[in-house]
A and B are shown apart, each in its own frame.
Chain A
Amino acid sequence: MSAASITLTHRRPIGERIIERLLFLAAALGVLTTLGIIAVLAFETVEFFLQISPIDFFTGTRWSALIKPQSFGVLALVSGTLLVTAIALVIAVPLGLLAAVLLAEYAGTRFRTIVKPILETIAGVPTIVLGFFGLNFIAPHILRPLLGADNIGVFSALNGGIVVGLLITPLIASISEDAMRAVPRGMREGAFAMGATKFEVVRKVVFPAALSGIMASVILAMSRAIGETMAVVLTVGTKPQFTFDPTESVQTMTAFIVQISIGETAQGSIEFKSLFAVGATLFVMTLALNLLSGWVVRRFRTGYS
């Protein structure tokens, strides 16, 4: 009986290599998508800038695309976006951080089974529903009675800010909670052993140690707020203006893009092309924030030995 010959070396079978190639292509689709986004935005924006001066675009504070006289100063839209975002952060940062501390430090299983689903529900609701809530409940039943129907209209940056703030609270809460949970138990014990109260342990040990993750969560929430569309479209209005008054109706970059798309705007017109320029501005802003958040984590991360 001859010994079976066992080959110890062999080329990887064709099947394996094909599979690997296919898998690689799937992963590379991501790169294609990014390149596609950049290419589309860049190309169309350049076309737009052939007709409208970039200086006027980036420094002008009057935006009027559909109503003559036309003006394409994007700062009006940017200020609308940032105003809504700022209000949203004012609401979401305290709410989100308090919820995160509760989940990470105080909550037993009883609490978690209540709190986590609430946060996840808010995060999972389609954003149009939140816009509807702002339009039909917050404005007429809360804002206008509280502030006076003369002082605030149906559409306002404040309304949009509240709704977007609710929207991004779960994001801050969950990322910050993870950051706080990552602080080693031994560190808390050391503080307790010296006679610290629970609040002191949280404030002086856990929170500072988790700070990089917490900051990153806020930056990511800001990016999300800037890119939010449907919730602001129903609440903020279509009145682009450069203002910091939260009771005013404004228009965000995202809402403008929607407005142009819905309307009867001809696809080759300059108004339509401005959509891409605004989109490019939006893309750059959110990309910068996302990269910043990653950098913050890497740079300020507390090393636990």
Chain B
Amino acid sequence: MTVEPAEAPPLGGQEGNDAPAIRITALGRERSVEPDARESVIELQDVSCFYGSFRAVRNVDISVAKQRITALIGPSGCGKSTLLRTMNRMNDLVPSYRTEGTILFDGQSLFAPGVDPVAVRRRVGMVFQKPNPFPKSIYDNVAFGPRINGFKGNLDELVEHSLRRAALWDDVKDKLKQSGMALSGGQQQRLCIARTIAVEPEVILMDEPCSALDPRSTLQIEELMAELKQDYTIVIVTHNMQQAARASDTTIFMTMGDDRAGYVVENGETIQIFTNPKHRLTEDYVSGRFG
């Protein structure tokens, strides 16, 4: 019987040494105390995002609380997606991109030398705006991540478990061999969620996951998010204010400044942001006066 790891492997990918003891939320662990509401899993300190010499996002200071749903809202083009994609170093794929400032994930700097984006991305997963299942079978879609990451265990069980958690198992349990692309839009997105959670990340980033879906599927995904936050921290970028108001615990409002760089205007509990915003801009946005 294998011993449960007591600490997360350092981001550099070397197996455990004397990293500080950090609790990880692995599946199957007995749920214990309600996590400290102020405990943050991702912290951004004075973060700016650049494409070449163009600054897309400036001076962001935010915390993402563990096992909560944090929503990033704001008008189009204000850098919400850019900021999100920095958190799992997806932006590294763009050659001219660079980040300034510090991002801490579980207390470790995300951009420290020796940190491998490949290792980061297993622990910080992402679901995209347009569902992007592979042209493989449903089973192989979900099994892709575990296989790559050297999963040692019962793959069938993991696939079933992930599909159940994504509320897709009942729909597909008889057709696991069918192509993932034959599913409907909402099902495809849930498949993408299933395969993301199959590698057991700690955080799930969602980039407008419902904007390509119909209202019924959207609602299903929102219900799913509420379930998932018991085990994962979720950060969601959304255009849909009602969605943010419904589904999230914390809301961060961004907008674009005169220098075309996005910045954070206000950051707080969702209820407060929507009923009693502190800034004029926030109030204008949530009441629909712009954006």
Contacts and interface: CB of A to CB of B under 8 A. Distances in A.
The answer on direct contact between A and B (beta carbons under 8 Å) is yes
A302 B148 contact: no
B130 A186 contact: yes
A194 B132 contact: no
Interface string A280-305: 00000000000000000000001111
B118 A197 contact: yes
A194 B144 contact: yes
A191 B128 contact: no
A116 interface: no
A194 B133 CA distance: 12
Contact of A194 (B135, B136, B181, B195): B195
Contacts of B88: 193
Given A197-B118, A204-B148, A186 B132 contact: yes
A194 B134 contact: no
A195 interface: yes
Interface in B146-188: 148-149, 181
Nearest to B127: A193
A200 interface: yes
A209 interface: yes
A184 B133 CA distance: 11
Interface residues of B, number: 28
B125 interface: yes
Contacts of A184: 132
Given A108-B95, A303-B181, A193 B134 contact: no
B144 A191 contact: yes
Assign chain A's interface to a size class: 20 to 34
Interface string B104-140: 0000000000000011111101101010111110000
Contacts of A302: 135
B135 A193 contact: no
A177 B171 CA distance: 37
Interface in B73-127: 88, 90, 93, 95, 118-123, 125-126
Contacts of A304: 135, 181
Nearest to A302: B135
A181 to B, nearest CB: 16
Given A194-B122, A197-B118, 14 more contacts: A186-B132, A189-B93, A189-B128, A190-B128, A191-B134, A193-B196, A194-B121, A194-B149, A194-B195, A195-B121, A195-B122, A196-B145, A204-B144, A208-B136
Kindly list the 8 A-B residue pairs having the minimum CB-CB distance in the complex, ordered from nearest.
A195-B122, A194-B145, A186-B132, A193-B126, A190-B132, A195-B121, A302-B135, A196-B148
